[in-house]
Structure 1
Amino acid sequence: MKNALIELQCEMVAERTYVNPNNLSWLQYDILHFINLHKNILPSKLSIELGVARSKLSKALKQLKLLGYIQQVPSDHDGRELITSLTQGGAEFLLNIYNNHESIYKLAKEIFSEEEQKEFTRLAKILSSKLRNERIKNNG
């Protein structure tokens, strides 16, 4: 099982690299994906969720702003906090990548039976959730 997980991770890394036309860093891609899921978010929450130091996150956010993929506006509750969201350009960039990832989904549907697809989805969600919770617990 260990080797299977490593191989799957390597293939996913290769696929992600292949469909990344602007050569964003892993962290920048993850930031965009997470903002897309949660819409408006504070950098402090991003830091915890992604398990990255605030200084490293700040640098990545600055680069994403320069690329025009995100915007930040002061929070109504506390002007020192910046609400971070995707710009139209950031949303379009992610949509393009998601569309390119469609080939993985199509391949999985082709090679797995409907029952195997459900089981894969169930197991992947369990593992992803556990990994995320452990990272947050250790960094929060």
Structure 2
Amino acid sequence: MPVDENDHSPVLDWPDGVENALAHLTCVLVARRTRTTPERVTWQQYDVLEMLRLRGPMTPSALSAALSVSRPTMSKALRVLKDQDLVTQAALGADRREQTTSLTATGREFLDRAAECRRDNARIAESVLTPDEQAVFAALCGRVAEAIHAAGQPAPIPS
């Protein structure tokens, strides 16, 4: 699609347009989500909540495996989420050392607000894209997401 010279976009002025476009879109989406979900949940904590929403109650070890993080990292994330009353843990069976983690009502409400924000973003995107552009955008987002996922996680930055 040709760019109208009167429709100036500083994001596309850089030689690395895709990188800047992704960075700009990420910033806009994160800022909107932060306004609707001010609990200061990190990306990793959000992923834990979404995994619990999608799969139901899980053990910390299953969450660690599903999200490809270490058990100590998962323990820290769960501790913060418990402190915010977004998840709860209960003993699993007779071995009280193994816990199962579930969303609380507050956690479900948090995810409902985040979902409403996503739906609002989708409505805005649909309002500025033709149906054909929407289909192309959705397909391209899917391809890029799959490629990024297939590339694996980058090495953590040493602290």
Range into which the TM-score falls when normalised by the shorter chain: 0.7 to 0.9
Q: Which residue, out of 69, 89, 92, partners 2:86?
A: 69
CA distance in structure 1 between the aligned counterparts of 2:149 and 2:100, rounded to whole angstroms: 22
Deviation of residue 109 (structure 1)? 0.9
Query: TM-score with structure 1 length normalisation?
Result: 0.79
Q: Which residue, out of 127, 143, 148, partners 1:126?
A: 143
- On the 8 A contact 1:70/1:90 being kept in 2, the answer is yes
Q: Which residue, out of 92, 111, 125, partners 1:94?
A: 111
Deviation of residue 11 (structure 1)? 1.8
Are the structure 2 counterparts of residues 77 and 129 from structure 1 closer, same or farther at C-alpha, using a change threshold of 3 Å?
farther
The 5 A counterparts of 1:7-26 are 7-26=24-43
- On the 8 A contact 2:32/2:117 being kept in 1, the answer is no
Query: TM-score with structure 2 length normalisation?
Result: 0.71
Are the structure 2 counterparts of residues 80 and 6 from structure 1 closer, same or farther at C-alpha, using a change threshold of 3 Å?
same
RMSD: 2.8
Are the structure 2 counterparts of residues 40 and 133 from structure 1 closer, same or farther at C-alpha, using a change threshold of 3 Å?
farther
Tell me which structure has the larger Cα radius of gyration. 2
Q: Which has the higher contact order (CA 8 A, sep 6+)?
A: 1
Q: Which residue, out of 16, 22, 29, partners 2:46?
A: 29
Deviation of residue 86 (structure 1)? 0.9
CA distance in structure 2 between the aligned counterparts of 1:77 and 1:117, rounded to whole angstroms: 52
CA distance in structure 1 between the aligned counterparts of 2:129 and 2:150, rounded to whole angstroms: 28
Tell whether 2:100 aligns with 1:83.
yes
Give the gaps of 5 or more residues in structure 2.
1-17
Match of 2:122 in 1: 105
Match of 1:115 in 2: 132
Are the structure 2 counterparts of residues 81 and 5 from structure 1 closer, same or farther at C-alpha, using a change threshold of 3 Å?
same
- On the 8 A contact 1:51/1:135 being kept in 2, the answer is no
Could you give the per-residue CA deviations for residues 42-99 of structure 1, whole angstroms, max 9, x where no partner exists?
A: 3223223434332122111012122221122344597644322212221112112222
CA distance in structure 1 between the aligned counterparts of 2:69 and 2:131, rounded to whole angstroms: 37
Match of 1:57 in 2: 74
Q: Percent identity?
A: 34
Give the gaps of 5 or more residues in structure 1.
none
